[in-house]
Amino acid sequence: MIYLDHNATTPVNPAVAKLVGDVLIEGGNPSSVHGAGRLARRRLEVAREQVALLVGADPRHVLFTASGTEANNQALRGFPGHTILTSAIEHDAVLKSSEGAGRIPVDSLGRIDLEALEKLLDGLSGPVLVSVMLANNETGVVQPVRAVANLVHARGGLLHCDAVQGPGRLPMDIRVLGADLLTLSAHKMGGAPGAAALIFREGAEPAALLRGGGQERSRRAGTENVPAIAGFGLAASLAGESLILMTHVEALRDQLAEDLKARGGVIIAEEAERLPNTLCVALPGKPAETQVMTLDLAGFAVSAGSACSSGKVKRSHVLVAMGLPDEIAGSAIRLSLSPATSADELARFVAAWARMTG
Ligand code: PLP
């Protein structure tokens, strides 16, 4: 199987897998006062510093959660009384935890419409929380988070940024981005599933979602997943290694785009700044679900923005928000690479993809 679905989950780094296994066997509950507990606590606090360092945050402001979805829920539900605005292309973990919120439109390249945001902000009174992702998981389009932060802060509001797709692919610092809250998830960056974080800045502490224990300074009750969190810390400290390989990954991605275009592919948001590892490509006339299944049988793991539910293919809300016509939105698949992806694998992919065009 040639794996081209790194935006869904990227394989765990072998050093991380070893650490997770070791810490699992080590055991101990970080809330216990004995030696085993103190060791587990140390594992947790080292990881907190490693994750904080990745994004230029204060370790005291790193709140560990079990998933990016949970971190997004806590950000969006953690400020009762705030009016919420999110972009129209957020992950469901943001959209479904802010039902009834205002949605900021995007342009045809999938970039947030700053003028529309300004107008929406002008029409509001009272405290505001805005959520805009760093980079879209389907198209890879990078959002102008700093510019959004400036508008939101001028209005006295808070900005949450779902940065799950960023580590190891884009340089990222919470102070440079200007975000007040940031979501990360370990399994998108070489860590194990089961660990993620909501990172916040002074004055932007969200209310607890889970109650019933004093863990995470009472911000999130429940015994911590110390093995996965320790692995998350190591993955965070290794993200820089992946980042320096992104120029190479981007060159492979761009060659892939040229090869697919030459065979009838339509590249989505090609002119926009995108994650260097991500390519969203449509094959008009061929439903995305059919492509994903055909490619799976040929030995390639890719994904479709559209999801099949009760036998009906639902168009990707991201591509729909970009105003793409049905024949493009319904026939787009996502290819996401890693530094381990080779030119030879991509050449084999192009051959398999081209067989679908005949
Ligand atoms: N946000 C974005 C942009 C994502 O791509 C994903 C996962 O696909 C999530 C949030 C959810 O993260 P998790 O799988 O850790 O719940």
Q: What is the pLDDT of residues 175-191, one digit of tens each?
A: 999 999 999 999 999 99
Please check the confidence at residue 230 and state whether its pLDDT lies above 50: yes
Q: Which entry of 2, 308, 352, 356 is annotated as an active-site residue? A: 308
Digit-coded pLDDT (tens) for 237-250: 999 999 999 999 99
Tell me, in angstroms, the distance from the centre of ligand 1 to residue 182's CA.
13
Domains of the chain: 2-10+244-357 (3.90.1150.10), 14-242 (3.40.640.10)
Ligand 1, CB cutoff 6 Å, lining residues: 67-69, 72, 91, 93, 133, 137, 162, 164-165, 185, 196
- Strands 181-185 and 303-304 come out as unpaired
pTM confidence score: 0.97
Q: Which two tokens stand for residue 195?
A: 């660990």
Q: What proportion of the chain, given as a percentage, has pLDDT over 70?
A: 97
> In degrees rounded to 5, what are phi and psi of residue 64?
-80, 135
Q: Percent of the chain having pLDDT more than 90?
A: 97
Query: Could you tell me if 196 and 228 are in contact, meaning their C-beta atoms sit under 8 angstroms apart?
Result: no
pLDDT per position as a tens digit, 319-333: 999 999 999 999 999
Please report the atom of ligand 1 found closest to the CA of residue 186. Answer: 15
CA of 65 to the centre of ligand 1 (A): 13
Task: Report which of 284, 298, 286 is spatially closest to residue 348, judged by C-alpha positions.
Answer: 298
For ligand 1, atom 9, the nearest C-alpha belongs to: 68
CA 348 – ligand 1 centroid, Å: 29
pLDDT tens-digit series, residues 101-119: 999 999 999 999 999 999 9
Report the residue count for the chain: 358
* Higher per-residue confidence, 247 vs 313: 247
Q: Give the integer Cα–Cα distance in Å for 294 and 132.
A: 34
How confident is the model at residue 358, as a pLDDT? 76
DSSP state of 61: G
Q: Is 161 a catalytic residue?
A: no
Mean pLDDT of 285-305: 94
Beta carbons of 72 and 93 less than 8 angstroms apart = yes
User: How many angstroms separate the alpha carbon of residue 37 from the centre of ligand 1?
Assistant: 31
pLDDT in tens, 13-62: 999 999 999 999 999 999 999 999 999 999 999 999 999 999 999 999 99
221 has a pLDDT exceeding 80: yes
Q: How confident is the model at residue 313 (pLDDT cuts 50, 70, 90)?
A: low
Per-residue confidence (pLDDT) for residue 308, from 0 to 100 = 46
Pocket test for ligand 1, best of 10, 131, 137 (most atoms within 8 A of CB): 137
